[in-house]
Amino acid sequence: MKLCSRTVEANTDKMGRERIFSMDEVAKHNSPTDCWLVLCGKVYDLTDFHPSHPGGSKIITDCAGMDATLLFEPIHPSDIAERLLSPDVKKGLVDKSTIREEHIAKPEEEEKEGDILSANGKPPIETMLNIFDFEDVAKKTMSKEGWCYYSSGADDEITLRENHNAFQRIWFKPRILVDVDKIDMNSKMFGYNTSIPLYITATALGKLADPEGEVALTKAASNTGILQMLPTLSSCSLDEMLEARSPGQVVFSQLYVNRERQRTLEYVTRCEREGVKALFITVDAPQLGRREKDMRNKFKKQGTAVQKGDEAAGKVDRNQGVARAISSFIDPSLNWKDLAWFKSITKLPIILKGVQCAEDALMAFRHGCQGVVLSNHGGRQLDLARSGIEILPEVMEALRMEPGYTKDKFQVFVDGGIRRGADIFKAIALGATAVGIGRPTIYSLAAYGRQGVEHMIDIFKTELEMCMRLMGTPTIHDIKPAHVITKNLSDHFAVQPQDNLMNGVYEPLVTQASKL
Ligand code: HEM
Ligand SMILES: Cc1cc2nc3c(=O)[nH]c(=O)nc-3n(C[C@H](O)[C@H](O)[C@H](O)COP(=O)(O)O)c2cc1C
């Protein structure tokens, strides 16, 4: 084992005050084995952390001994280290007057494919007619790093694509001569109003899409009258997201459970105190899936360091890094017995996000949860896990046979692959209370900012309204299982309709040597 030569210093002076470092002192710790960074005026020793940083070690070691705020701030909230890492990593504060130009790490200039499209590289927002239009603009105009992070799925990305394909194995049985003069899409989640049974689900690192990050989503949710689930690993801080709420706006929180339960306790207590209305505990990520598009992009960015066999830079490989990193933030030992503890610390409704079979949905009900999200994390975790929409009928059948179950007591949500208003209709028909929208939210944010998100939600509304009218269902309550035909839903080898939009925008996986 290599011994580390760096010195371990106390983080406070004798009076208990935070230590102040000059930038020249910080600059001495400029190697992977002694790696200090200034982030938002604070000095951190990230030597032990960088090998397991989920975003790769190189991005941190490249900034060793420097002020990396310009790279860090667009992506992470300033308190992420305090929230996720041991308090020892913080060494103190930097004396800002000592920071010179050469101490500041700057983002690389990205060459955007979109620059060659037109003046601003984007078609006018009014020309966005469907959800895939946003994805295509995002793909062509956002940073490669952001695109690879958002679009990637686990392994062969079969589940990623299946999530959308599964909806095309459900066909409609419309009813005629129903008065559909007025269509009412209003509905409720846990008693809270939403203008359409759709919510913005949690997606991490919103600032990779737009400098306003998740705050833009909170405002778009308010402007369109829908509900939002705030992510634990957001780019904006929890305070920023909460402050962005309009008066009376309802939000929910997604929760990754930390190994150090005290941190989870603080987070949950704060959410409850600040008026968050439900807690969605993510249960499908005891380890992050391997997302090869994202990994390959990182390898490309590392350049020659890896080819030279630089040991520290090589650790950017997420093969083990992520497993280790994630286990420090997200507790892989989380299990059914822990639910009693959650119920003892909060009165908020508890919903398990990432349930993938009827047996576990029943377990959640029997453990006193208020709901489940049938989800495979947007195809980013276990490849060949079934889509949420496929699982929905078996879950509803099991619940209906369960003594004491009512739809008000226990709500079922679905996310993954929802790209048309018709997909929302299908989920509601099969028993879902509402559906979660992941990538379309961040793609529309990346393409056109907050306005893009609002336009994307309007498209879902327009499409669902048309679908409800043509189906003969004037209200959400009128949508029933008899309106859909699910005979082929669980046939994984059925002949699928050709989906030109999805196939056109989908970027196939390639091998490393494919371009030789
Ligand atoms: C201070 C301690 C830090 C912590 C605790 C931390 C934590 C994290 C976490 C948890 C993620 C993964 C989110 C997800 O995949 O859901 C992530 C990703 C990322 N981080 Fe950090 N980070 C830190 C410092 C930094 C710094 C200093 C930089 C830049 C200089 C940085 C840049 C990034 C980037 C670019 C990603 C996205 C990577 C991707 O494309 O997958 N982070 N970080
Ligand atoms: C880029 C990205 C980041 C995500 N981050 C989180 C997260 O931090 N926590 C979580 O519970 N789910 C996360 N998810 C999963 C989503 O909440 C949701 O399950 C999924 O995106 C739905 O599929 P869709 O993208 O096809 O709509 C993420 C998904 C994506 C695409």
Torsion of CA 203, 207, 211, 217, to 10 degrees: 10
Q: What is the pLDDT of residue 323?
A: 39
Q: Which residues are known to be catalytic?
A: 256, 284, 377
Ligand 2, residues 377, 413, 439, 499: which to mutate, most atoms within 8 A of Cβ?
A: 377
Q: What is the pLDDT of residue 6?
A: 52
Using DSSP's 3-state secondary structure scheme, residue 61 falls into: helix
Spatial distance between the Cα atoms of 426 and 485, rounded to a whole number of angstroms: 9
Spatial distance between the Cα atoms of 73 and 53, rounded to a whole number of angstroms: 16
> What is the atom index within ligand 2 of the atom nearest the CA of 163?
26
Q: What is the pLDDT of residue 301?
A: 54
Q: What tens digit of pLDDT does each residue of 39-97 get? A: 999 999 999 999 989 888 989 999 999 999 999 998 899 989 988 888 899 999 999 99
> Ligand 1 centre and the CA of 79: distance in Å?
12
Q: What is the pLDDT of residue 318?
A: 46
Which class is domain 19-103? alpha beta
Nearest in space to 214 (alpha carbons), one of 413, 380, 76? 76
Q: Is the CB of 189 under 6 A from ligand 1?
A: no
Sketch the domain layout of the chain as residue ranges: 19-103, 131-286+330-505
Protein residue whose Cα sits closest to atom 14 of ligand 2:
203
Q: Is the CB of 444 under 6 A from ligand 2?
A: no
Q: What tens digit of pLDDT does each residue of 271-318 get? A: 999 999 999 999 999 988 888 888 887 765 544 332 333 333 333 344
Q: What is the pLDDT of residue 119?
A: 52
Protein residue whose Cα sits closest to atom 8 of ligand 1:
54
> What is the atom index within ligand 1 of the atom nearest the CA of 105?
30
Residue 77: CB partners within 8 Å, gap ≥ 6?
83, 234, 235, 236, 237, 238, 240
Using DSSP's 3-state secondary structure scheme, residue 326 falls into: helix
Q: What is the pLDDT of residue 3?
A: 36
Residue with tokens 């996986």: 509
> What is the atom index within ligand 1 of the atom nearest the CA of 325?
10
Q: Return the number of other C-beta atoms located less than 10 Å from residue 476's C-beta.
A: 22
> Ligand 1 centre and the CA of 52: distance in Å?
10
> What is the atom index within ligand 2 of the atom nearest the CA of 151?
31
Q: Is the CB of 388 under 6 A from ligand 2?
A: no
Below-70 pLDDT ranges, the chain: 1-10, 110-120, 299-328, 515
Q: What is the pLDDT of residue 458?
A: 98
Q: Is the CB of 289 under 6 A from ligand 2?
A: no
Spatial distance between the Cα atoms of 378 and 157, rounded to a whole number of angstroms: 10
Q: What is the pLDDT of residue 305?
A: 33
> Ligand 2 centre and the CA of 307: distance in Å?
33
Helix (H) or strand (E) holding 196: none
Is the four-CA dihedral 170, 174, 179, 180 of positive or negative sign? positive
> Ligand 1 centre and the CA of 71: distance in Å?
10
Q: What is the pLDDT of residue 515?
A: 65
Q: What is the pLDDT of residue 321?
A: 39
The ligand placed nearest to the CA atom of residue 280 is 2
Q: What is the CATH number of domain 131-286+330-505?
A: 3.20.20.70
Spatial distance between the Cα atoms of 389 and 445, rounded to a whole number of angstroms: 25
Copy the structure tokens of residue 415: 């996310």
| Contact present, 325 and 53 (Cβ < 8 Å) | yes
Helix (H) or strand (E) holding 394: helix 388-400
Protein residue whose Cα sits closest to atom 28 of ligand 2:
203
Q: Is the CB of 235 under 6 A from ligand 2?
A: no
Spatial distance between the Cα atoms of 47 and 6, rounded to a whole number of angstroms: 9
Q: Is the CB of 38 under 6 A from ligand 2?
A: no
What's 495's DSSP letter? P
Nearest in space to 151 (alpha carbons), one of 295, 293, 301, 282? 293
Protein residue whose Cα sits closest to atom 19 of ligand 1:
55
Copy the structure tokens of residue 124: 């006018």
Instruction: Looking at 142-255, list the stretches that DSSP marks H as alpha helix, in order from N- to C-terminal side.
Output: 144-151, 158-165, 214-224, 238-243
The ligand placed nearest to the CA atom of residue 436 is 2
The DSSP secondary structure of 401-454, one letter per residue, reads TSTT--TTTSEEEEESS--SHHHHHHHHHTT-SEEEE-HHHHHHHHHHHHHHHH
Spatial distance between the Cα atoms of 429 and 423, rounded to a whole number of angstroms: 10
